[in-house]
């Protein structure tokens, strides 16, 4: 085993502590990555604070990882020392089931191994995976993506989750030139949805509780920004959209959102609220509308997203912070006080 400097959450309500964690030795199919930047995803916060089930502490979260390859195993063919790479939400799957073979490793029939808080038999019985708020990580080469030149590692880190989480459903539901897309929420996910949908050629409208970020929306590629509290404006949008991408992890009026869709339109949910969704059956049956969900993306899809972003000059809009600022940053993310993703400079861990 090797060790690396890392940030650890000792409990759900405690401040992050700086220390060391164990990584497995580099195996024949493994890649050792020197992490440069790690994004803070809202799901990190839900997990650390015990809002999504049982957690084993101390825990190093982080699944938006960007860095450089510093060593490879003897059988590695996909990556070499010095390559710019990223790691997202998964670090292992069976590779043999139908879903894995179809490029949907996140739905592995035997269960994907997620980047943190998952059982980690490769590091020993009872061990759990530890994530990217650290200076190094060892990952099977199959779960390491190439970050193309032209995207800075700092703005690439959030693409490993926020990027693919929005790219995958937009691609799946055929967004392209001539499409009309509404993005609900202008946060870490929403701002990426706006950038990607606009780059795909869609006409994009942001739906948000306020007009505070209207200028940002337009700068990122949206043609309009509408307050969901403005009843007249929302009424005028009825029947306007082919796709609505709901990025909000809150209990919303899905029936009202469905009314904004054209016939055959789709409402895709990527946010995960605590309570069940509710809407009348007539809201979908009447005009053959669809309510869908989407969770991250497979490894091939993640690479396609990175290549797409490089082609179109897209990176996340970020604020880089130091290791000492992470605890405070969690509270700011919950309060919506970030534009639009905090990214940790991992070189500051232990300094």
- The correct CATH number of 163-293 out of 3.40.50.1470, 2.30.110.10, 3.40.50.720, 3.40.50.2300 is 3.40.50.720
Architecture of domain 2-161+297-348: Alpha-Beta Complex (3.90)
| pLDDT of the residue at 296 | 96
For residue 112, CA distances in Å to 57, 118, 350 come to: 21, 9, 31
| Residues whose CB is less than 8 angstroms from the CB of residue 115 and which lie 6 or more positions away in sequence, other chains included | 62, 63, 65, 87, 88, 89, 90, 91, 129, 131, 132
Q: How many Å apart are CA 167 and CA 157, to the nearest integer?
A: 15
Domain boundaries, the chain: 2-161+297-348, 163-293
| pLDDT of the residue at 115 | 98
- Which residue from 223, 230, 191 is spatially nearest to 209, judged by alpha carbons? 230
Q: How many Å apart are CA 265 and CA 283, to the nearest integer?
A: 11
Per-residue pLDDT tens listing for the chain (351 residues): 899 999 999 999 999 999 999 999 999 999 999 999 999 999 999 999 998 888 999 999 999 999 999 999 999 999 999 999 999 999 999 999 999 999 999 999 999 999 999 999 888 888 999 999 999 999 999 999 999 999 999 999 999 999 999 999 999 999 999 999 999 999 999 999 999 999 999 999 999 999 999 999 999 999 999 999 999 999 999 999 999 999 998 888 999 999 999 999 999 999 988 788 899 999 999 999 999 999 999 999 999 999 999 999 999 999 999 999 999 999 999 999 999 999 999 999 997
Contact 294, 132 (CB under 8 A): no
């Amino acid at each position: 085993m090797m060790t690396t400097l890392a940030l650890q959450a000792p409990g759900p309500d405690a401040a992050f502590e700086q220390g060391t964690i164990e990584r497995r030795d580099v195996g024949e199919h493994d890649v050792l990555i020197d992490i440069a930047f790690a994004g803070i995803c809202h799901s990190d916060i839900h997990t650390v604070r015990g809002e999504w089930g049982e957690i084993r502490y101390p825990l190093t979260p982080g699944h938006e990882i960007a860095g450089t390859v510093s060593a490879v195993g003897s059988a590695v063919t996909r990556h070499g020392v010095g390559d710019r790479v990223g790691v997202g939400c998964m670090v292992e799957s069976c590779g043999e089931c139908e879903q894995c073979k179809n490029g949907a490793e996140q739905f592995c029939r035997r269960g994907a191994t997620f980047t943190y808080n998952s059982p980690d038999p490769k590091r020993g019985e009872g061990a759990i995976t530890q994530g990217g708020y650290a200076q190094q990580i060892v990952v099977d080469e199959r779960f390491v993506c190439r970050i193309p030149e032209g995207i800075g590692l700092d703005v690439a880190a959030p693409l490993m989750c926020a990027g693919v989480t929005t790219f995958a459903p937009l691609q799946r539901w055929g967004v392209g030139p001539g499409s009309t897309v509404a993005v609900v929420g202008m946060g870490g996910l929403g701002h990426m949805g706006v950038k990607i949908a606009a780059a795909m050629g869609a006409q994009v409208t942001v739906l948000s509780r306020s007009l505070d970020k209207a200028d940002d929306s337009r700068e990122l590629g949206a043609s309009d920004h509408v307050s969901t509290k403005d009843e007249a404006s929302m009424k005028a949008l009825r029947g306007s959209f082919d796709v609505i991408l709901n990025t909000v992890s809150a209990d919303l009026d899905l029936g009202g959102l469905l009314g904004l869709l054209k016939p055959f339109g789709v409402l895709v949910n990527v946010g995960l609220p605590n309570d069940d969704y509710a809407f009348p059956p007539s809201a979908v049956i009447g005009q053959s509308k669809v309510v869908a969900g989407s969770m991250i993306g497979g490894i091939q899809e993640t690479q396609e997203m990175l290549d797409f972003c490089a082609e179109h000059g897209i990176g996340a809009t970020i604020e880089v912070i130091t290791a000492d600022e992470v605890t405070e940053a969690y509270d700011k993310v919950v309060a919506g006080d970030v534009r639009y993703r905090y990214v940790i400079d991992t070189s500051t861990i232990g300094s």
